[in-house]
Amino acid sequence: MDRIPPYDYSKYVFAARAAVVTCSSFELLLVLFGSLEDSNILAKLFYFLFIGASVAVSAHNIALNIDGREEIRKVLGSSENEVRGRSAALVLVPVLSGIFVFLCISGHAFFSLFVLIHVLASVGQLGIETYEVKNSGGCPVVPLVLPEFKIPSIGQSNPPPITPPSDRRTLAPTHDPDYQTLAIVQDTIFEQK
């Protein structure tokens, strides 16, 4: 079975993002209010930076309703490094920051619980997004094909310019009787002026 049963993508991704924002916010509060007494100031600074980045990116993704599938497609298909870097950051920062903090924490059970939920939710969200990209046919980047324009050389004559027909009734041939009536009324008004 290579496909999972039908599910509502936006509902699951929103729930995962909300879980990441909630857990990351609690982690940030725990770091700020000093519940990690045994950690040194450098460790608290790193926790603050990584968890703050996770909160900021997840809140940004929720606020602007950013689709992770499109961001993954941009990472895979864009030729501009700035676009690829921004898209990768929007998708990977919550996962990588959660994994890094999870690997570095020790001793505080309440903090560890929030970090574990953060990691599971962000990895689940990334998994759903990559599954959707994989099963949607890959990267939808279409190469730009320009039409061929032929420039006449000096020896060739240019085609004659297009001129409108002399009879206005042949301008818009249609079989709609209402349109024909309207065209006749307009022609008679134009001829009377």
Q: Which residue ranges make up each domain of the chain?
A: 9-135
Q: Are 94 and 122 in contact (CB under 8 A)?
A: yes
Picking from 95, 100, 88, 87, the residue whose alpha carbon sits closest to that of residue 121 is 95
Residues of the chain above pLDDT 70, percent? 74
The half-sphere exposure of 45 on its side-chain side, counting CA atoms within 13 A, is 3
pLDDT per residue as tens digits for the range 93-116:
999 999 999 988 876 788 889 999
Residue that the structure tokens 């505080």 belong to: 108
Query: How many CB atoms lie under 10 A from the CB of residue 101?
Result: 23
pLDDT per residue as tens digits for the range 107-152:
678 888 999 999 999 999 999 899 888 887 544 444 445 556 566 5
d(Cα 29, Cα 21) in Å, to the nearest integer? Answer: 12
Task: Determine which of 32-36, 43-47, 115-119 has the lowest per-residue pLDDT on average.
Answer: 32-36
